[in-house]
């Protein structure tokens, strides 16, 4: 079940079942000997009003017989944002709404135990930003290519993608499908999220463009084209 509580911002407690609850019959003996860890994706790409995040317990929790484990979720600026409580399940899906703060969230130990001892826990984190998109096309004119590039990003205000103005993009090329990519030049998008430019290219090559990430938007890479 999911319990909701309030904090300085928004706090959500996610409760997942980990096993039949058992009362500990002995106090903690050697916390360093036992452990229970949690795994979360390091990056969260927001491209819709609600984005699911799968979290799971590590194999050490099963090995130590963990019956209960909780972690606090804290935003780096706003503080407590949620509480992950595992009870009778070892993986589950929680999520992020697009109106919640972007940035780094820390998943910090609260408590964990098996029927006999307290268990040590790990600390993890993930970063939340808007998703983005970038596309490129090219038309050959003699020994030159005329490139057209467009960038977009997910905007919570419109709950969809919109033009990404002034985005920074780099153009890369390679001579064959298995060759490494070589940097060619940087491009800055106009206010409408688009740019056109000419590049000297006497021979046919493969091209792509990649947008640079910002503090609130993830960068992305276009599909490859040949020109």
Task: Using the predicted structure, report yes or no on whether residue 21 has a pLDDT greater than 70.
Answer: no
Instruction: Please give the full DSSP string across the chain, using - where no structure is assigned.
Output: -EEEE--SS-EEEEEE--SS----SS--S-GGG-EE-EE--SEEEE-SSEEEEEEEE-HHHHHTT--EEEEEEEETTTEEEEEEEESS-SEEEEEEETTSPPEEEEEEEEEEE-SS-B-EE--EEEEEEE-EEEEEEEEEETTEEEEEEEEEEEETTTTEEEE-TT-EEEEEEESSTTSPPEEEEEEE--TTSEEEEEEE-SS--EEEEEEPP-SSB---BPPPEE-
Q: How many CA atoms lie within 13 A of 126 on its CB side?
A: 21
Task: Using the predicted structure, report yes or no on whether residue 212 has a pLDDT greater than 90.
Answer: yes
Mean pLDDT score, 191-217? 96
Q: What is the structure's pLDDT at 128?
A: 98
Q: What is the structure's pLDDT at 34?
A: 52
Q: Say if strands 103-113 and 38-39 run parallel, antiparallel, or are unpaired.
A: unpaired
Mean pLDDT score, 23-45? 67
Do the first three CATH levels of 2-129 and 132-226 match, i.e. the same topology?
yes
Fold adopted by 2-129 = Immunoglobulin-like (2.60.40)
Q: What is the structure's pLDDT at 32?
A: 44
Least reliable range by pLDDT among 17-31, 138-152, 157-171, 175-189 = 17-31
Domain segments of the chain: what residues?
2-129, 132-226
Which CATH superfamily is 132-226 part of?
Immunoglobulins (2.60.40.10)
């Amino acid at each position: 079940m999911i319990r909701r509580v309030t904090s300085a911002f928004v706090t959500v407690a996610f409760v997942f079942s980990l096993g039949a609850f058992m009362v500990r019959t002995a106090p903690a003996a050697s916390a360093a000997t036992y452990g229970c860890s949690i795994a979360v994706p390091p990056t969260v790409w927001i491209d819709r009003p609600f984005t699911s995040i799968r979290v799971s317990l590590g194999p050490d929790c099963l090995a130590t017989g963990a019956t209960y484990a909780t972690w606090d979720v804290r935003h780096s600026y706003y503080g407590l944002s949620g509480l992950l409580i595992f009870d009778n399940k070892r993986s589950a899906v929680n999520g992020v709404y697009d109106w919640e703060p972007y940035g780094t969230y820390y998943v910090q130990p609260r408590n964990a135990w098996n029927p006999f001892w307290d268990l040590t826990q790990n600390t993890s984190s993930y970063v939340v930003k808007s998703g983005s998109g970038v596309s490129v096309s090219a038309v050959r004119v003699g020994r030159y290519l005329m490139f057209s590039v467009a960038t977009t990003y997910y905007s919570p205000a419109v709950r969809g993608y919109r033009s990404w103005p002034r985005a920074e993009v780099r153009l890369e090329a390679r001579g064959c499908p298995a060759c490494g990519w070589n940097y060619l030049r940087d491009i800055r998008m106009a206010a409408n999220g688009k740019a056109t430019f000419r590049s000297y290219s006497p021979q046919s090559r493969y091209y792509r463009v990649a947008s640079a990430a910002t503090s609130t938007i993830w960068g992305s890479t276009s599909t490859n084209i040949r020109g």
